[in-house]
Chains A and B, each alone.
Chain A
Amino acid sequence: MKKLIHLFAALAMVFSIPLAAQEEAPQREPGHYNNNRFKQLYEEFSTPNTYRSASGAPGPDYYQQRADYKMDITLDDKNARIYGEETITYTNNSPDNLEFLWVQLDQNVRAKDSKSPLRNGSGVNLAYTAGNFAQSFMGEPFDGGFNIEWVKDSRGNLPYTINQTMMRVDLATPLLSGQSYSFSIKWWYNIPDHTVNRARSGYEYFAEDGNRAYVIAQFFPRMAVYSDVEGWQNHQFWGSGEFALPFGDYEVNITVPEDHVLDATGELQNRKQVFSKEMMKRYEQAKKSYDTPVMIVTQEEAEAAEKGFAEKTKTWKFIARNVRDYGFATSRKFIWDMMAVKIGNRDVMAVSLYPKEGNPLWEEWSTRAVASTLKSYSKYTFDYPYHKAISVHAKNQGMEYPMICWNYGRPNKDGTYSDRTKFGMMSVIIHEVGHNFFPMIVNSDERQWGWMDEGLDTFMQYLAEQEFGEAYPAAIEGLDKYPSRRGAPSAIVPYMAGDQSYIAPIMSNPENVYQLGPNAYAKPATALNILRETVMGRELFDHAFKTYAQRWMFKHPTPEDFFRTMEDASAVDLDWFWRSWFYTTDYVDIGVGEVKSYYVSNEPTPEMKEYMAANGLTEADLPPLVYLADLNAEDVDPNLTAAAPSETSTTLKEFMMDNMTEAERSKVKEPKYFYEISFEKPGGIPMPLIVEYTYEDGSSETVTYPPEIWRKNDAEVKRVISSDKKLTGIVVDPKAETADIDTANNSWPKKEEGSEFDALKAQIKG
């Protein structure tokens, strides 16, 4: 019995045995919590309930509120002012009775007394230029913000309280569960110049022709979200965190000067009233044009209209069903083109609105980019359910609303434009049109979780950009693929490797982070790309992603719903991935350390001899054993290497003679080379260990060890490989798929890496 136990132990210890050294009285280590990186996210995730299931799908009691709007809006072009009157019908589908309603007044961020500019720190400058001083201390603040004339319901005036960008309307009797309630508001506000402080809506003034181009949104008091997760939203609109909005139907009538060209969220109800006969003809043409945009208003017509300054007005009437917001763009400067695109078995119109300053770039590419984006996103999620998608040209803007978005991309006055401008414009159009899917339809809470729409949209944008480049090679003239700026794992390395005091986990509120771009856009997009390409594979990922999109279209998902659904639909445990990529600021750094070579031997190794001595064993006590001995030990006969194991170990030869037929013996492949390779993980994030082994004969093979390899060996793990060819090189993550922040430790033998400064210097000279 004793011998058997020793035998088992001996067989297990073929490699170097770490001897337990005798230490002095050890300090007792304190106990610890479960810190394993593969721990499930039970503590971080909210508890599943009947509103939101553990599977990540909406639960049997899932509810959402509804807000319908009937609005009459007048735009005063001369004074850049909007007057509005609306009736809101709010339906309480929650199980709770509501004593008051919260209404969002986002324009108040521009009010004179807005606290928004006060939320950032500032210091006294060493010195001021006269202009700076005047602006800092003497300027008149813009008189923005909503002027509420009245709030009333069928019985009369309603008491209301304004807290900056939120207004509480107190109800005479609580709004019971299941009931609807209507009330009306009348207001006006001064439209801001959006080019001054990058407000998300407003006008741009063109001094040359004296006209304004308006991109109008956040223009009406609108309902806040009441949900099972937050109750009423209680986060102000400070400027960085965006919007949480309920779904509903909108009936909107917009009155503008009669020479304005206008498009908006929703289906135009009175086209014959607002279109000329010529425009109607062109519109019918556009509906059947699937390859080329048709001009509804040409550049000549727009340039002529610029001189109009009509006094009379026209009213455009729209109805939009099941949307979460409303936006419109209007100007007498606008050129208008449209094209049809097939989505599923329906036709959707791709539309662009732009002043002449957008040409020649806009007439060439805007509508085509819209159409391509709708097709790409629909493929990965669901068929775009609305009837149109509009791209509006606006200086320095990139902002999204249901069916309509604002995009930058302006050529130089002489019509020339750089690649930077061209690709910038195409990318922003793809990104903003993509937002129709996230968050306009998969309606996440942007104020709490910026990444849920920005990260997901940026990830999809990368895929859509690549497909746009393939569909329109002329757009990427000369390049072999679209030059996407985000998506490739190596691009996120600098952010993740950077100074920890300037980075925050993705699961942070957008108001509170420094580098919001990488935090909410690039890092989650890159993480999803890595999940798709490297961790799950495209088939599993695409199916799970589509499941998420379809479970939550026209609903309000939370981060957990996304995280759970991705696992639910794929049977891939991803808690370790969400934890490291989304909940921490950890980074990836995996490398190869020591590589030890071995040969097969009859003779007990030094470590084995020590073990035997320590346990009072002699060779006679043990059965015949095969040893792998260190090739780099002293006195090792080099001829022992590169010989077949059966030649150097009689024990093995005897075994083979006794247990294999001659035929089997002649076919057996005996590895001659044995290596113990140490892989290290100085970075926190566990990732699949992708290793490319290269051999003496020039051949190579790539082995991917699953991320679970790190589950019990967080800092270092060893693997043994045997081969009939000599190993000459090892590279971890050869295709740069894991966003490894330090590739200096990724190669064996180690690669000498020069200084980045000298590398750049050489690149400039050369």
Chain B
Amino acid sequence: MMKTWILFFITLVPLTSLQSLDHKFYLSVTQMEFDAENNRITAISRVFVDDLEETLRQRYDVQLALGTDREDEMASFYIARYVEQKLIVEMNNESLKFSFAGFTYQNDQIVLLSEFGFIPSDQYKIKVTNALITDAYSEQQNLVHFRMNQKKQSEVLTKERPFFVLAL
């Protein structure tokens, strides 16, 4: 039984809401959870649709029209491929297998679901890398909240420092 940790996530303010403002925020939020019951680490990433669209356009030279009714049928393929490369979880010095559980839209954000299965062990040295969007926008900041055993660690990852080691 997993309690919903609404308490600990920040959602993004969409670009389109920054009326009368000069500066755009390049920020994403990823909530990660150590799910001991199911031997997996889950991640819910919220990214601006515009930013992901532009990143994939630059990277793969595709116009995916994310979130519109003309959305490309290959959208899932490209998104999964991209997230796999940019969101990495290592446990005890080994990369965990990435499994993409789909995506959906909330306001101006795209919500990406990722799962990383692991084998139970005595100790868990976990390293999380989140380099989403930093390839297209070097100012991008990726906020990661990692919840494990009722405790939470939050980190702001950037292009210069795209990973952190869990100290919980």
Contact = CB atoms under 8 A, between A and B. Distances in A.
B159 A755 contact: no
Contacts of B33: 755, 757
A754 B42 CA distance: 14
The number of chain B residues touching the other chain, given as a range, is 35 or more
Of the candidates B21, B49, B108, the one having the most CB atoms from chain A within 10 angstroms of its own CB is B21
B160 A125 contact: yes
B2 A758 contact: yes
A418 B67 contact: yes
A242 B6 CA distance: 34
A518 interface: yes
A126 B160 CA distance: 5
Of the candidates B19, B68, B108, the one having the most CB atoms from chain A within 10 angstroms of its own CB is B19
A497 B8 contact: yes
Contacts of A763: 104
A742 B7 contact: yes
Contacts of B6: 493-494, 497, 741-744, 756
A590 to B, nearest CB: 14
Nearest to A423: B16
Interface string B28-67: 0001010100000010100001000000000000000001
Contacts of B23: 198, 239-240
Of the candidates B4, B49, B68, B102, the one having the most CB atoms from chain A within 10 angstroms of its own CB is B4
A486 interface: yes
A59 interface: no
Of the candidates B2, B44, B154, the one having the most CB atoms from chain A within 10 angstroms of its own CB is B2
Contacts of A680: none
A497 B16 contact: no
A138 interface: no
A599 interface: no
A755 B18 contact: no
B98 to A, nearest CB: 15
Nearest to B22: A239
A494 B10 contact: yes
Of the candidates A485, A498, A518, the one having the most CB atoms from chain B within 10 angstroms of its own CB is A498
Contacts of B102: 761, 764-765
Interface in A493-532: 493-495, 497-499, 501-502, 515-518, 521-522
B113 A432 contact: no
B13 interface: yes
A681 interface: no
A557 interface: no
A517 B68 CA distance: 25
A650 to B, nearest CB: 48
Interface in A740-766: 741-744, 752-761, 763-765
Given A124-B160, A418-B68, A764-B103, A498 B22 contact: no
Contacts of B7: 497, 741-742
Of the candidates B10, B67, B104, B143, the one having the most CB atoms from chain A within 10 angstroms of its own CB is B10
A521 B21 CA distance: 11
A347 B111 CA distance: 47
Given A240-B22, A499-B10, A755 B113 contact: no
A235 B74 CA distance: 50
A398 B20 contact: yes
Contacts of B20: 200, 242, 398-400, 431-432, 435, 454
A495 B67 contact: no
B11 A495 contact: yes
Interface string A416-441: 10101000100110011001000000
B142 interface: no
A753 B2 CA distance: 7
Given A198-B24, A485-B14, A416 B70 contact: yes
A741 B19 CA distance: 26
A199 interface: yes
The number of chain A residues touching the other chain, given as a range, is 35 or more
A231 interface: no
Contacts of B13: 495, 515, 517-518, 522
B145 A499 contact: yes
A341 B114 CA distance: 52
Contacts of A400: 20
A756 B5 contact: yes
Contacts of A126: 159-160
A760 B111 contact: yes
Contacts of B158: 123
B9 interface: yes
Contacts of A499: 8, 10, 143, 145, 154
B136 to A, nearest CB: 11
A494 B4 contact: no
A16 interface: no
B138 to A, nearest CB: 6
A755 B16 CA distance: 30
Given A124-B160, A132-B138, A499-B154, A757 B44 contact: yes
Given A398-B19, A521-B17, A760-B104, A744 B4 contact: yes
B141 to A, nearest CB: 10
Nearest to B103: A764
B124 interface: no
Interface in B131-168: 138, 143, 145, 154, 158-160
Interface in A102-127: 123-126
Nearest to A429: B19
Contacts of B92: none
Contacts of B9: 494, 497-498
Interface in A235-255: 239-240, 242
Nearest to A757: B42
Given A125-B138, A498-B10, A515-B13, A240 B2 contact: no
Contacts of A518: 13
Interface in A396-423: 398-400, 408, 416, 418, 420
Interface in A33-81: none
Nearest to B16: A424
Nearest to B160: A123
B25 A515 contact: yes
B95 interface: no
Interface string A273-295: 00000000000000000000000
A417 to B, nearest CB: 9
B1 interface: yes
B10 A199 contact: no
Of the candidates B17, B20, B31, the one having the most CB atoms from chain A within 10 angstroms of its own CB is B20
Contacts of A418: 67-69
A192 B119 CA distance: 57
A517 B10 contact: no
B110 to A, nearest CB: 12
A494 B113 contact: no
Given A398-B18, A498-B9, A498-B10, A764 B104 contact: yes
A325 to B, nearest CB: 13
B21 A517 contact: yes
A46 B60 CA distance: 58
A759 B145 CA distance: 19
Of the candidates A124, A242, A501, A742, the one having the most CB atoms from chain B within 10 angstroms of its own CB is A742
A398 B160 CA distance: 32
A455 to B, nearest CB: 12
Given A123-B160, A517-B18, A764-B101, 6 more contacts: A239-B22, A494-B10, A494-B11, A497-B8, A741-B6, A741-B7
- Top 9 nearest A-B pairs (CB, nearest first) are A498-B10, A517-B13, A755-B2, A398-B19, A494-B11, A764-B102, A418-B68, A757-B42, A753-B4
16 contacts: A125-B160, A420-B16, A427-B16, A432-B19, A485-B14, A485-B107, A494-B6, A499-B10, A501-B154, A502-B143, A515-B10, A521-B17, A522-B17, A756-B4, A757-B2, A759-B4
Interface of B: 1-11, 13-14, 16-25, 31, 33, 35, 42, 44, 49, 67-70, 101-104, 107-108, 111, 113, 138, 143, 145, 154, 158-160
